[in-house]
Structures are given as structure tokens and as C-alpha cells.
Amino acid sequence: MKLPDLPFTVTAWDALPATEHPGETGTATWRTLNVGDVRIRRVDYSPGYLADHWCDRGHILYVLEGELETELRDGRRFTISAGESYEVSDFGDAAHRSSTKTGVKLFIVD
């Protein structure tokens, strides 16, 4: 990932417009800042959220609050808690999907 030319920027995440994305169950609320080809998001998953798709896109994901379960298509599961992150590339066999029982707040760069 290479960030394009960008002046020093301060982002008030709560002031950005929220977009709702329904999951198979629950809802994801995104607040997004696009910088060239890089997408920076604060994402909130409601309690009981389960993604409605397998994602092949690379991410750097940091858990701000709550707990996230990430399942890889090959069946492996990982629980990521507040203060932890995962990193996955656009390449390889790491298709993944997310869920949370209690709700979670994430910071994602992709």
C-alpha cells in the first residue's frame, strides 16, 4: 500500500457520514475516508452481525472495542479482541468473513 500525496489531515470520525451495510444478520456501519486507492474506515458491527459474503480484499484491521471473530474459508477461526489487529493481503487463500456476538468497533485500512 502506498498513500498518495496527501496534506496533513485530521479526521473527526463521528462527523463523517455513516453508511449502513446489512449483513446476513445484523448491520455494519461504515464511516469512510478515501485517499486515492486507499480506503480508511471506522466500522461498527451490531451485536449478532455476520457478514453476508467472503472477502478477498487485503486489510489491516484493528479492534478498537469489543471482540471480532474472523473465519477463513478453509475453516480456521480467529478471535480478535480490543487492542489486537490482523493483517491479510489481497493475494493467497485467505478469503475471510467476520462476525461478532456482542458488537465491535474497528479501524480498517485497505
Kindly report, residue by residue over 22-62, the tens digit of the pLDDT. 999 999 999 999 998 899 999 999 999 999 999 998 999 99
What is the SS3 assignment for 33?
strand
Domains and CATH numbers, the chain: 18-109 (2.60.120.10)
Q: Quickly tell me which residue has 451495510 as its cell.
A: 21
- CA neighbor of 108 nearest in space, from 44, 51, 50, 54: 44
Burial 42-81 (b: 16+ CB within 10 A, else e): bbbbbeebbbeeebeeebebbbeebebbbbeeeeeeeebe
- pTM of the full predicted structure? 0.92
- CA neighbor of 69 nearest in space, from 110, 38, 26: 26
What is the SS3 assignment for 13?
helix
* Residue 103 exposure: Cα atoms within 13 Å on the Cβ side: 5
Length of the chain: 110
pLDDT band at 6; cut points 50, 70, 90: confident
Residue 1 in this model has a pLDDT that exceeds 70: no
Burial 14-24 (b: 16+ CB within 10 A, else e): eeeeeeeeebe
